[in-house]
Amino acid sequence: MNHKLHLESQDMKKLPSKSASLNPKEKKHAASAAPAQSSGLHLHTSTAVQKPAPAAYVMPPQLQAALNQVWQKSLPLLQQRVGVLDDALAATKAGQLNPELRAAAALEAHRLAGLLGTFGHPHGTDAARMFEIVFDSDAVLTPKLAESLSPALSTLHTIMSK
Amino acid sequence: MGPSYMRKILIVDDEDDIRAVAALCLETIAGWEVCTATSGSEGIRRALETRPDAILLDVMMPEMDGPTTFQHLQQDPHTRSIPVLLLTAKVQGADQRRFADMGVAAVLSKPFDPLTLGLQISAALGWER
């Protein structure tokens, strides 16, 4: 599991700030480099030199370990949910999607979308959301449309294999 | 509210993983006491038993969904004053507005950030941390 969950709250456990020990020049460099990080953070880097560096927070190790356990425990169920999407997509490609499977796929996609981001998989939420939108819509599902969902399904499988 | 007071929050969600993560975060990070329920009807029972300071209520649940559960809580004078925060993976603006118009304290989105869930609840309810 790859948690990329960082925040800036004063209420969370403060970890040692990497920039706290830097000289002003280094701080400026650190501030300008921050947006390039791939964490998805919203860092207030423009004021990093004038004010104490904003506190950077990461998942406390104990909490991360506990979340990992929940993830591992949940994984079989999550894989089952992705399996429903597998079935629905295959049925759509074959022109054999029935209303029951379509509704089940929409529900499982909804559940996956609501959960994967919490476990540090925002791309998983995005991928599942695509399924939810498509299967929950009134649109006629064509094999071509199903094909366009294949990358999203691959994303979900990749996450499930971690 | 004295500093020694421990908030108590009831999480009502049919999904085990969501309940587990939310409980873990609210206990570990926010330091609150957490009780859980797996359905709307159990949530109503638990609300009466435990009298929580707030209820985090999932919208989409089988049998009794979140909005219906909220209506039941509102009809009971013993639970009417407990603030309810709806938790939903519905992202459509119309859904969010409909939920907000029901009179709940807040509508929180899934997926939630485990690190900030407690902050979101506190902010929505005006709780000091």
Which tens digit of pLDDT belongs to each residue from B37-52? 999 999 999 999 999 9
In chain A, which stretches have pLDDT less than 70? 1-57
* Beta carbons of B24 and A66 less than 8 Å apart: yes
The predicted structure's pLDDT at residue B96? 79
The predicted structure's pLDDT at residue A79? 97
The predicted structure's pLDDT at residue A159? 97
The residue among B11, B21, B34 with the most chain A CBs within 10 A of its CB, best to mutate, is B21
- Distance between CA atoms of residues A12 and B83, nearest Å: 24
B65 to chain A, any CB pair closer than 8 A? The answer is no
- Distance between CA atoms of residues A149 and B80, nearest Å: 45
CB neighbours of A127 closer than 8 A, spacing ≥ 6?
Answer: A152, A153, A155, A156
Is residue B10 within 8 Å of residue A48, measured between CB atoms? no
Q: Which chain B residue has its CA at the smallest distance from A123's CA?
A: B111
Q: CB-based burial of residue A112 (10 Å sphere; 0-12 exposed, 13-18 middle, 19+ buried)?
A: buried
Is residue A160 within 8 Å of residue A75, measured between CB atoms? yes
Give the ipTM.
Answer: 0.86
Is residue B56 within 8 Å of residue B121, measured between CB atoms? yes
Report the half-sphere exposure of A123 (CA within 13 A, side-chain side). 16
The predicted structure's pLDDT at residue B98? 86
pLDDT tens per residue, range B62-100: 999 999 999 999 999 999 999 999 999 887 778 878 888
* Beta carbons of B29 and A12 less than 8 Å apart: yes
| A149: amino acid identity, one letter | L
- DSSP-derived letter for residue A17 is P
The predicted structure's pLDDT at residue B70? 97
The pLDDT of B100-109, averaged and rounded, is 92
CA-CA-CA-CA torsion for B54, B59, B60, B62, nearest 10 degrees? 50
Which residues on chain A are in Cβ contact (under 8 Å) with B96? none
Tokens in use for A117?
Answer: 């981001």
Cis upstream peptide for B62 (omega within 30°): no
**pTM recorded for the entire structure:** 0.77
- Distance between CA atoms of residues A26 and A48, nearest Å: 11
Among B41, B48, B44, B43, which Cα is nearest to B63's? B41
- DSSP-derived letter for residue A123 is H
- DSSP-derived letter for residue A47 is G
Helical ranges in B76-127 per DSSP H: 93-101, 117-125
